[in-house]
Amino acid sequence: MIRALITGGAGFIGSHLAERLLGQGYQVTIIDNLSTGRLENIQLLESQANFRYAVEDIRNIHVIDRLVSECDIIFHLAAVVGVRNIVDRPINTIEVNIGGTEVILQTAARYRRRLMLASTSEVYGKGVNFPFREDDDTLSGPTLRSRWSYAASKAIDEFLAFAYHAEVGLPVTLFRLFNTVGPRQVGQYGMVVPRFARWALANQPIQVYGDGNQQRCFGNVYDVVAAIQGLAETDSAIGELYNIGSTEEISILQLARRIRDRADSASAIQMVPYEQAYSQAGFEDFRRRVPSIDKIHKAIGWQPTTPLDETIDQIIAYFQQQML
């Protein structure tokens, strides 16, 4: 039985990964400080004999040392996430994302544990070569704008991880997650799809920031966690970096209309300027974000299989259930 430790395991993606690994016969331990994770995400897992959890910060080196010593593989998903969180709390973003990852890397190296490290498509910054490939140059915005602190902190995480692999032989695999959506994701930190779904179900105005022409790809969480597990079980993925995400593009304005239609909603669509939506002056956003998934497909044969409409239906059904 493989013993897995998932940091951020009570979060949206972490809880789905925990559920999948338990179903595949893993023993799963999670650690989460519940800053964005929720105990209700793992409520159905608590009764399983091969599951346990700790409510703690990943920067607690004593707790991490014990948990890592008792596992075979670490899935490091814990991070500050959500545009609202990043803009409003840049100190916390930088300290958690870099400091927490440093603790995980040091401890994984101490016990020679396999490490799966989650990064983000935000690292590509304002890149203009589409689709984004893992070896593309990155272009970040100015340090005067905290919007870019998340991308910069995750880029440092990647540099650190590759340094540990090169210098001490740490068996680490990195993956950059593009927009991932599905049941259990909440919209209070800026996640667009759950916010749109909630507004549509309540027949409230759906607020689209900017001009709505930003292009995004939204991957289903069930597809994404399958990709993460596939990479974890592939030795040739050690020392490599992979994109994980959907390649089905849609504009944010089209997304709002699609969610409204599938929810059979009477909501109006309201355009909101960035300067009104965010407190930070000169807020910048990506115009387009689409991954190349050629590398992961070649490595493990993975590609997303869930159409966007099906994903939207899953999210709507989840919120309808929550409203009962």
**Catalytic residue list contains 150:** yes
Q: Which of 239, 152, 253 lies closest to 207, judged by CA?
A: 253
Q: Check: CB of residue 286 under 8 Å from CB of residue 178.
A: no
Which tokens belong to 269? 């669509």
State the residue for tokens 């090169």: 166
Instruction: Say if strands 3-7 and 180-181 run parallel, antiparallel, or are unpaired.
Output: unpaired
Residues with Cβ within 8 Å of residue 106, at least 6 apart in sequence: none
Q: Which of 156, 74, 94 lies closest to 123, judged by CA?
A: 156
Residues with Cβ within 8 Å of residue 272, at least 6 apart in sequence: 207, 208, 209, 210
Q: What secondary structure does DSSP assign to 148-170, as a single string?
A: GHHHHHHHHHHHHHHHHHHHH--
Please name every residue paired with 6 in a beta bridge, in sequence order, or none if there are none. Answer: 30, 75
CA torsion through residues 160, 154, 72, 39, sign: positive
Q: What secondary structure does DSSP assign to 58-71, as a single string?
A: TT-HHHHHHHHHT-
Distance (Å) of CA 41 to CA 12, 231, 234: 7, 24, 28
Q: Which of 150, 164, 189, 242 is catalytic?
A: 150
Could you give the residue numbers annotated as active site?
Answer: 150
